[in-house]
Structure 1
Amino acid sequence: MNEAVKALDLDTVRAFVLIADLGSFTRAAEVMETSQAAISLKLKRLEDRLGCRLIERTPRHVRLSGEGNRFLPGARDLLMAHELALSGIGALPRRRLALGISDHVAGPELPQLLSRLNAYDPSLVIEVRIAASRLLMERFDHNEFDAVIIRRGEEQVDGKRLFAEQFCWFAAPSFQYRAGEPLKLATLAAPCGIRAVAIDTLEQANIPWTEAFVGGGVLALGAAVNAGLAVAALARRVAPAGAIDVGERFGLPPLPALDIVLLSRETDQRSREMLRVLAAAMKGLGE
C-alpha cells in the first residue's frame, strides 16, 4: 500500500466498507442509493489512490484481498472519526434500534446480521425481539419497534420487499408416514400464520392431519422435527440440520413462497442509512 497517500475521498471509503460488510456491490449500491456501476467506479478510484487491489471479485464471490483486510480497520476508524467530527467533541451518542424479527425469518444467519450492523455502527444499541409476524405488526403499529422484518400474510402489509422465502415440509429421515393416515404436524401456537398456511394447504389437498407438537419458537419446532415427532412447515434457511424435505416423498402438496418485508420508521439520516444496511444484509440471505 502506498504510504505517501494522504487525503482520501470518504465516499469511496464508505463504498469499500459496505462492499466488505455486505459481500456485494449491488447491496452496497442500495445502501448508498446509487448504481452498481457507480459503486464499482468508487472502488476503482480508491484502489487507484491507494495503489493496490482491495477487493477480489469473481462471478460468484466478493472477498477482500490481503491489502483489503489490512485497510479495513483503518477505513472504519476514518468513517467513525468523521462521524465524531460532525457530532462535535466527545463520543458519539448511543442510539437504540428496536428491531422485531419474525420467528420464521430469524435463522442461523442472525449472528452474522447483527455483526454487520455493529461493524457499520458500533455506537448502536441493538434491541431484538423474535415473535410471530402478526404480533410484531401490532406492536409496530403501537410504536414499540423502529423496524420489523416479517412475513407478508393475508394482511398484505406495506413495506420493503426483501426476498421470497420458500417453505417446505421437513422431517427427520427416520420419520414414517403412510398416505391416508393423519399427518403428524409440529407447529407454532395459533395464530401463527405459517401454521394456518400449512393446515389450509393440507385441507385443500384433502390430506388429514393431526397436531402432534406445539412449540413456542422455531428452535422448538426444529427439536421436535429432529426427534422424529412430526413434520413441520419451515423455510429452508431455518430448517434444523439433519432434517430433509419430505414433500415429494410423502406426496404432500407444495407450500407457497412467501414475501419477507421490512417495515420501518425512518428518522434521522444515520438511522435511515442503518436501515438500508439492514435491508441489504437481509436481501443477501435470500440469494
Structure 2
Amino acid sequence: MRRMKRDLDLDLLRTFVTVADNGSMTVAANLLHRTQGAVSQQIKRLETALTCTLFVRGSRGLSLSREGEQLLEKARQLLRMNDEIWAERAEHPFTGMLRIGVPYDLVNSLAPTMRSFADAHPLVDISLTCGASPDLSQAVDDGRLDVSLVEYPEFAADGETLRIEPLIWVSGRHSNASRKRPLPLSMVDERCAFRPVVLGALSDAGIPWRTVFESGSIEATAATVRAGLAITTWLRSTVPSDLETLDPQIAGLPPLPAFSISLRTPPATTAAAMKFSRLLRESFSAATRLTPITGEATGRRFASGMPA
C-alpha cells in the first residue's frame, strides 16, 4: 500500500518561528507584513497538520508548548537550508546594503569574515554597528540590522549559538586591584550583557564594588586594567595577551557563568545576509576546531590577584 506523502509548508514554519522568537502574534504580523488574523490562521493550520498545540497563552503572553519547543530548532534548520539553497542559486551578484551588528569585544573576531565577504561581493555596501548586546538584539528585532552577533548568558541564549565561552575575570599584570574593596571595576558599557551577571555574582558573594570607568571603547577599558586601576570581565578568547586571567578561588572572586555567542537575523532576511551568516558559521566552526573553548585556562597563566 502506497504511503501518503506529507510535506511541511515552509511558509507556516517561518510564521511559527517568527511568533516563537517574539512571543507575540501581533509583532510577528508586523514583521511578516500580514494581519494578526492571518498569522493566527497559519499557526492553527500548522497545529492541525502536526496534530498538536504549539503555543500556550499565559498571563505574560504566548509561550511555547512542549511540542513547540521540540519543533523550533528543527524548523530553524529547515528554513536555513531552504534560504541557503535559494541564495546559492541566485544568478545575479549581491547588491545593496548589508547592515551588520557586533558587540565591542568581538569586532576583531568579525574582521576576517567581513573582509572575505567584501572581496567576494564588491557591489554590497557594508554598514557596521558596534554596540551592547541588548541593543543589537533589539535592532535585529526591529529590522534595523540584517545580521548580528549577540552575547547572551548561556542559560538565556537566543538565536543560533555559534560558540559557548567562559566569562572570566581579567587583571593587569602584577596588579592587586582584585584585592581592593570596594572592588574597582572597569566596564565597557552600562548596557553590556556581562554587567548584570557580574554585578549579580558580586552581590551574591557580598563583595562591594565601584565603577572606575564605563565607556563604549574596549580599548579604554583595557587601558584602565593595564594601569592596575581596575579589573574587568571578558570572554576567554578576547582577552589581550598582555593581560592576565584571574583564578576566582585564588583571587577571592565569585565564579561567572558561560556566555553564548549567538547569530541573530530577522525572519525576513536577504540573500546577502544569508551568505554572510554562513561565512560566520564557518569562521566560528574553524576557530573552535583550532582552539577548543572550554572553562579551563589554556595559553595564559592564572594570576593570583596579588603583586608578583
Shared fold per TM-score greater than 0.5: yes
> Per the alignment, do residues 271 and 151 of structure 1 end up closer, same or farther by CA in structure 2, a change over 3 Å counting?
closer
> Per the alignment, do residues 278 and 153 of structure 1 end up closer, same or farther by CA in structure 2, a change over 3 Å counting?
same
Q: Secondary structure at the match of 2:106?
A: coil
Aligned to 1:43: none
CA distance in 1, matches of 2:247, 2:274: 41
Deviates more, 1:236-245 or 1:174-183: 174-183
- Please show how residues 205-244 of structure 1 align to structure 2 within 5 Å: 205-244=205-244
CA distance in 1, matches of 2:149, 2:241: 24
Aligned to 2:275: 273
Q: How far does residue 270 in structure 1 lie from its aligned partner after superposition?
A: 5.2
Residue 253 of structure 2 corresponds to residue 252 of structure 1: yes
CA distance in 2, matches of 1:164, 1:176: 29
Aligned to 1:149: 149
Q: Secondary structure at the match of 2:140?
A: helix
CA distance in 1, matches of 2:94, 2:233: 43
Q: How far does residue 187 in structure 1 lie from its aligned partner after superposition?
A: 1.0
Q: Residue 187 of structure 2 contacts residue 195 of structure 2 at CA under 8 Å; is this kept in 1?
A: yes
Q: How far does residue 168 in structure 1 lie from its aligned partner after superposition?
A: 0.7
Residue 180 of structure 2 corresponds to residue 197 of structure 1: no
CA distance in 2, matches of 1:104, 1:135: 14
- Please show how residues 76-155 of structure 1 align to structure 2 within 5 Å: 86-87=91-92, 92=93, 94-106=95-107, 108-153=108-153
Aligned to 1:188: 188
Q: How far does residue 203 in structure 1 lie from its aligned partner after superposition?
A: 1.5
> Per the alignment, do residues 95 and 283 of structure 1 end up closer, same or farther by CA in structure 2, a change over 3 Å counting?
farther
> Per the alignment, do residues 259 and 154 of structure 1 end up closer, same or farther by CA in structure 2, a change over 3 Å counting?
closer
CA distance in 1, matches of 2:98, 2:129: 11
Q: Residue 177 of structure 2 contacts residue 230 of structure 2 at CA under 8 Å; is this kept in 1?
A: no
Task: Name the count of aligned residue pairs.
Answer: 202
**Structure 1: where are the runs of 5+ without partners?**
1-31, 34-81
Deviates more, 1:217-226 or 1:170-179: 170-179
Q: How far does residue 155 in structure 1 lie from its aligned partner after superposition?
A: 9.6
Aligned to 1:282: 284
> Per the alignment, do residues 238 and 262 of structure 1 end up closer, same or farther by CA in structure 2, a change over 3 Å counting?
same
Aligned to 2:172: 172
Aligned to 1:26: none
Q: Residue 117 of structure 2 contacts residue 276 of structure 2 at CA under 8 Å; is this kept in 1?
A: yes
CA distance in 2, matches of 1:233, 1:176: 16
| Percent of residue pairs bearing the same amino acid type | 25
> Per the alignment, do residues 277 and 166 of structure 1 end up closer, same or farther by CA in structure 2, a change over 3 Å counting?
same
Q: Residue 154 of structure 2 contacts residue 257 of structure 2 at CA under 8 Å; is this kept in 1?
A: no
CA distance in 2, matches of 1:268, 1:110: 19
CA distance in 1, matches of 2:178, 2:143: 48
1:71-121 deviation per Cα after TM superposition (whole angstroms, max 9, x unaligned): xxxxxxxxxxx97xx33xxxx463321011122433x33322222222443
Aligned to 1:46: none
CA distance in 2, matches of 1:196, 1:268: 34
Q: Residue 117 of structure 1 contacts residue 278 of structure 1 at CA under 8 Å; is this kept in 2?
A: no
Q: Residue 172 of structure 1 contacts residue 226 of structure 1 at CA under 8 Å; is this kept in 2?
A: yes
Q: Secondary structure at the match of 2:241?
A: coil
Deviates more, 1:144-153 or 1:242-251: 242-251
CA distance in 2, matches of 1:109, 1:276: 15
